Structure 1
Amino acid sequence: MGRIDLETVQKISLDSNCFIYLMEGSPYEKFLLHLFRKIENGDLQAVTSTLTVTEILSHPYKKGNIRLVEEYRGLLSSFPNMKVRAVDFHVADRAAELRNQYRLKTPDAIQLATAILEDTQIFVTNDKDFSSVDFPIVYLQSNNLR
């Protein structure tokens, strides 16, 4: 896939690792800050699955880091121009189809089903399990975003 110009994209889907990298630091932090500012300003619409809540809160709960739990809750529950879509019947059904079609793990299939059903243009992740998927996947480490 060629470079993705964020000026031409209107709606994106974010994998759980985007939030973790943003909040806990990573080599992608600068880009993610830029991306989340574009979402906050309304230049981009974003969506993620409620599964993201479970995935990103598990580690802070395990470590007893209630401050980080609260920061994540605040980010996910009130971030402007970002929708957190529930895993409803339609998402679960589409996830089952994708899980079998692409041999994805259930959480990955749920994230991808959410991206598809929400009519997003790209799915931003750093998870290589999506390499065989026929959907625009943008990997943070690929430098395909500008």
Structure 2
Amino acid sequence: MGWVEALDGRVIALDTAPFIYYLEEHDVYLPLLDPLFASVTDGTVRVITSTVTLLEVLVAPRRRGDDDLVDRYRQMLLDTRGVEVHPVSEAVAETAAQLRAEHTVRTPDAIQLATAVCGHASHFLTNDRRLPSLSNVEVLLVDDLLLAE
């Protein structure tokens, strides 16, 4: 059973990097992420992320004046069935503050992890090795999944 099939029926939180790798068709990571986004499209897996992701993915295309890529990111995050962008609610802010108090983690990363916790995600997909392990959300690193393939 592949890593994506093991996530069937679950809520998975995604950090910013997997969206960038997928939408910008990163040569190394796209083959790994294609099955995940296919599972989202067919409703097998549900993805959540924070509004921080929207902020982060739009910066580079806006700097370059790439309105097409801005539109594609907005469509993927805001209009794709199976992808939910969660705002920074009071519960997310409180959880992020607790994560920052317990771990050396930057505010955007704490918000992303808190979104996973508050959104009842079973896993958090990232490529940031600096993020802490959590007892209630399994952190998956894209690079580690790639090595395991």
Normalized against structure 2, the TM-score is what? 0.89
Give the whole-Å Cα distance in 2 for the aligned partners of 1:119 and 1:110. 14
- Counterpart of 2:5 in structure 1 is 7
The two structures, once aligned, show a CA RMSD in angstroms of 1.7
- Counterpart of 1:88 in structure 2 is 89
User: Is the counterpart of residue 40 in structure 1 residue 49 in structure 2?
Assistant: no
SS in 1 for 2:12: strand
Matches within 5 A, 1:1-146: 5-9=3-7, 10-26=10-26, 27-130=28-131, 132-134=132-134, 135-143=137-145
> How far did 1:8 drift?
3.4
What is the aligned residue count? 143
> How far did 1:65 drift?
0.8
Give the whole-Å Cα distance in 1 for the aligned partners of 2:4 and 2:63. 35
Between stretches 104-113 and 4-13, larger displacement belongs to 4-13
SS in 1 for 2:140: strand
Question: CA, structure 1 residues 107+4, in 2 after alignment: closer, same or farther (shift >3 Å)?
Answer: farther
Residue deviations 1:50-88, cap 9 Å, x none?
A: 111000001111111111101101111111111110011
Amino acid corresponding to residue 140 of structure 1 in structure 2: V
Residue deviations 1:14-68, cap 9 Å, x none?
A: 1111111111132111111110010110010110001110000011111111111
Unaligned runs of 5+ in 1: none
Identity of aligned residues (%): 34
Question: CA, structure 1 residues 39+60, in 2 after alignment: closer, same or farther (shift >3 Å)?
Answer: same
Q: Is 2:61–2:67's contact at 8 Å kept on the other side of the alignment?
A: yes
Between stretches 4-13 and 79-88, larger displacement belongs to 4-13
Amino acid corresponding to residue 20 of structure 1 in structure 2: I
Q: Which has the higher contact order (CA 8 A, sep 6+)?
A: 1
